[in-house]
Structure 1
């Protein structure tokens, strides 16, 4: 036999191949989070309103000219609690001068991303825990979580390994300071 024997695929490799080949229904999004394929239906109007209000403030008030992408796929490197994850934040911000999305494939690395935003929906613990660990592991400097169930906004910063070392939470109605490159207080009064 002259043909070379191929190494069998690991369970993780089979899962990743299946995930990448998945045909997701229009309007739905699929993610691979901690070894689980997660399919999410289109978001409700309140969810999108929170995102819109954040984007408007960031574009108008940031010290650095920022660009925004909604639902951009990010590949999170291995390590920590995350194992080869493919996540889709509700919102992704990066400085305009180093906009990492131009020419990027559907799933791109996290380099160049300044902040990701999630608004809780049907499974809030996924945003509070699993995605937080993934974004920290991807070394994304800031993770902003709008928690509709708790009526609060949390800013996670200073990523180290698979978590963030600094956490600030404010109730809806209070402002939360976004550090550089944003450098302004994000107002949440209209989240009430």
Structure 2
């Protein structure tokens, strides 16, 4: 049985495909969100700089927590999906011993930085907020390089985030508890096209 012949993509088949795709083409990352196979482009230099900057902000706020870059998580309560987050903010040591696709328990904030690709709107603005809310991740931070805005999603109700705060790059935004610190977004203006 193959995926194409049967029209079925199981968790095990996805993980095998993801392992082979990463070895075959380092420019792509596979995800399995909302029961759909997706492809995520490898981040560009500005994308990486944003993650570095955000990591520094997180460490200054609390050195006992870390922003894990490119962390793979098992997401969604009943659809069994996998997402590779640009950043997963959690206590240091949260993912030790868990392998490539970790349990989301302990993730305080999911972070995504938009890429300049055709799937960004659907993936980062629609599917991932829903999947992270269903999973119960308390905060979803979207750094949107296309709109030059930061969106802070919070208060997941198991279906969606009840609160979404949007600020333009250059403003300060409060990341609600359990993250609990302010983020000055002025530097983000330096890393957009």
Q: What TM bracket, shorter-length normalisation? A: 0.7 to 0.9
TM-score, normalised on structure 2? 0.84
Could you say what secondary structure the match of 1:150 adopts? coil
Could you say what secondary structure the match of 1:72 adopts? strand
Q: 1:110 aligns with which of 92, 101, 104?
A: 104
Question: Which contiguous aligned blocks of 4+ residues in structure 1 show a shift greater than 3 angstroms?
Answer: none
Unmatched runs of 5 consecutive residues or more in structure 1: 1-9
Could you say what secondary structure the match of 2:128 adopts? helix
Larger radius of gyration: 1
Note the alpha carbon deviations across 1:84-136, whole angstroms, 9 max, x for none: 2111110011123xx32011121122101101100011122110110111111
TM-score, normalised on structure 1? 0.84
Note the alpha carbon deviations across 1:123-161, whole angstroms, 9 max, x for none: 221101101111111100000000111100010001011
Check the 8 A contact 1:61/1:182 in 2, yes or no: no
Q: How does 1:72-83 map to 2 (within 5 A)?
A: 72-79=71-78, 83=79
Aligned residue number for residue 26 of structure 2: 26
Q: 1:159 aligns with which of 156, 160, 163?
A: 156
Q: Which has the higher contact order (CA 8 A, sep 6+)?
A: 1
Check the 8 A contact 2:109/2:179 in 1, yes or no: no
In angstroms, what is the RMSD of aligned CA positions?
A: 1.8
Q: 2:80 aligns with which of 67, 79, 84?
A: 84
Do structure 1's residue 49 and structure 2's residue 49 form an aligned pair? yes
Could you say what secondary structure the match of 2:102 adopts? strand
Q: Cα offset for 1:34?
A: 1.8
Instruction: State the distance in 2 between where 1:11 and 1:78 align.
Output: 22
Aligned residue number for residue 68 of structure 2: 69
Instruction: State the distance in 1 between where 2:7 and 2:133 align.
Output: 25
Unmatched runs of 5 consecutive residues or more in structure 2: 1-5
Check the 8 A contact 1:70/1:92 in 2, yes or no: yes
Question: Which is helix-richer, 1 or 2?
Answer: 2
Could you say what secondary structure the match of 2:131 adopts? helix
Q: Cα offset for 1:11?
A: 5.5
